[in-house]
Chains A and B, each alone.
Chain A
């Protein structure tokens, strides 16, 4: 058993779906480095660890660097056959505070699979915006008020940043399709060097949706073009999940974090902006069937 029940994730949390998919894909032959965040807190309390594989939590922003250290040590100790080095880090830890060490790890070419669990905000501290929070989203640091309709900025394009470092494999995935996660993980570890996998994980508590809708919402994110599922190998776009496009409103209306857009004076403008991003993604990656 690589990851156990009894962890304290919210009912319907998508993070364990992503984690078990990754661990199963590797048959548990891995070292996990986990940054501070929801996953770490729900799974690594002293005396209640949910992990069945070797695991280390250090700080919030250094998972990539700690993983680099493990990779180096395994190499010099001739123990690389023990397993793959995998990082699980949230979107805040990856795209904001940890981007320096992540860039360094990519740049030095460490043999590490870096999995970003993207629930689109600093959820563990109660839903504050991160670089991967999408526009229009309510968060407690981009709240909805008389003046502001939630976050105005875009999602940081981490895939492009990853690819720009020249790493051999970069891809997005979603808990909507665990088999796709498994396939991508198995494919990623065939490459030597840094691999980046960003998995979309809806957050019941932060996004404000019924747990029964988690998978439906995850699918809608893809089907609207807002979360393109793409795969890059050696810098080239090799695979894309094609979609029969749905308008973004279908995705937005199911989540409390976007509900204000249907009432707020600036809401219509923001929805238009969100739609334009979806259109841009579709064009850029050729998503439309």
Chain B
């Protein structure tokens, strides 16, 4: 196997780790309520909510590969556009 001298690592290899299966809940964005303010993007600790262009306006989009379901985005959304839903596999 190859190892680096002194355990130096390459940048951004964490992107290989998909932490999306960590959470029990996940955020659903109501694009009609979303005003594209960017608060969710500003706060998300896992950098997985981003504003994207959709039909001429900016809306939030979640990258579910990394979302841990913490709910911070939902808690800061001023337009109540983000709801946390229980994942299918946890529904009884």
Contacts and interface: CB of A to CB of B under 8 A. Distances in A.
The answer to whether A and B interact is: yes
Given A49-B10, A51-B11, A12 B71 contact: yes
Given A12-B45, A16-B47, A46-B7, A4 B12 contact: yes
Contact of B9 (A7, A44, A179, A214): A44
Nearest to B8: A46
Contacts of A145: none
Given A4-B47, A5-B48, A215-B76, A11 B68 contact: yes
B72 A211 contact: yes
Interface in A43-62: 43-53
Nearest to B4: A46
A8 interface: yes
Contacts of A237: none
Listed residue (A7, A45, A204) with the most chain B CB atoms within 10 angstroms of its CB: A7
B75 A213 contact: yes
A9 interface: yes
B91 interface: no
Interface size range of chain B in the complex: 20 to 34
A211 B71 contact: yes
Interface string A1-38: 10111111101111111001000000000000000000
A17 B45 contact: yes
A214 B72 contact: yes
Interface in B38-56: 42-48
A212 B66 contact: no
Contact of A3 (B47, B66, B71, B74): B47
Contact of A215 (B23, B43, B48): B43
Contacts of A44: 9
11 contacts: A6-B19, A11-B23, A11-B45, A12-B45, A16-B46, A17-B43, A17-B45, A47-B9, A49-B12, A211-B71, A215-B72
